[in-house]
Chains A and B, each alone.
Chain A
Amino acid sequence: QQQVKQSPQSLIVQKGGIPIINCAYENTAFDYFPWYQQFPGKGPALLIAIRPDVSEKKEGRFTISFNKSAKQFSLHIMDSQPGDSATYFCAASIGKIKAAGNKLTFGGGTRVLVKP
């Protein structure tokens, strides 16, 4: 019940395309859903995050769509650029229970390659 399932494992798009990464969860207690971007040889970096009281959030070319009833959320990268080539991780955490702290459950990651 603590799992976050992420798909696809890898994705190749042309420059300007819109890679879409999907995540699904089971635990309805999750209330914070961040996305992390990781470049080779670097640590994951927070990209954008959403809470379940909104259905969409945009930051620059990155958009999260959230479907609470389906327990799914996705990341869209608009007008993708070769510099967006990285591994993307979705995650989820429980905020209402203090003992859970800020513990994140991560998806398995999606390797995105944007071809010039």
Chain B
Amino acid sequence: DAGVIQSPRHEVTEMGQEVTLRCKPISGHDYLFWYRQTMMRGLELLIYFNNNVPIDDSGMPEDRFSAKMPNASFSTLKIQPSEPRDSAVYFCASSSDSKAQFFGPGTRLTVL
């Protein structure tokens, strides 16, 4: 199994630009999670899906952030417009009923 796949691995953009992060979960997993990791705030859950349906988006910082899961094998996290304070590493993770979450390699986002 290839594990959770994220793209791009690194993204550098300018303030105000739209950023789209992509995730392919492990095949057969029905939960998908988006996290943000910073030195100051640690690992924060932004949103998670079950069977492609958003279950809890209480961690989404503000309306500039949106996430979609159009099918079982693909999810996106979009930031529009981006701001320097959005600079962080964004992780996608997936799990099944076993509860263990498997994380992708992350996308390091830098907003200038």
Give the interface of A toward B (CB within 8 A): 32, 34, 36, 42-46, 49, 89, 93, 95, 99, 101-104, 106, 108-109
Contact = CB atoms under 8 A, between A and B. Distances in A.
B43 A44 contact: yes
Interface residues of B, number: 22
Contacts, number: 50
B31 A101 contact: yes
Contacts of A43: 4, 91, 93, 103-106
Given A89-B43, A109-B42, A109-B43, A42 B105 contact: yes
Nearest to A93: B99
Given A43-B91, A44-B91, A101-B48, A34 B100 contact: yes
A95 B100 CA distance: 12
A26 to B, nearest CB: 18
- Nearest 5 A-B pairs (CB), nearest first? A43-B103, A102-B95, A106-B43, A102-B99, A44-B103
Contacts of A89: 43
B14 interface: no
Interface in B69-112: 91, 93, 95, 97, 99-106
A93 B56 CA distance: 14
B100 A46 contact: yes
A75 to B, nearest CB: 16
A104 B42 CA distance: 14
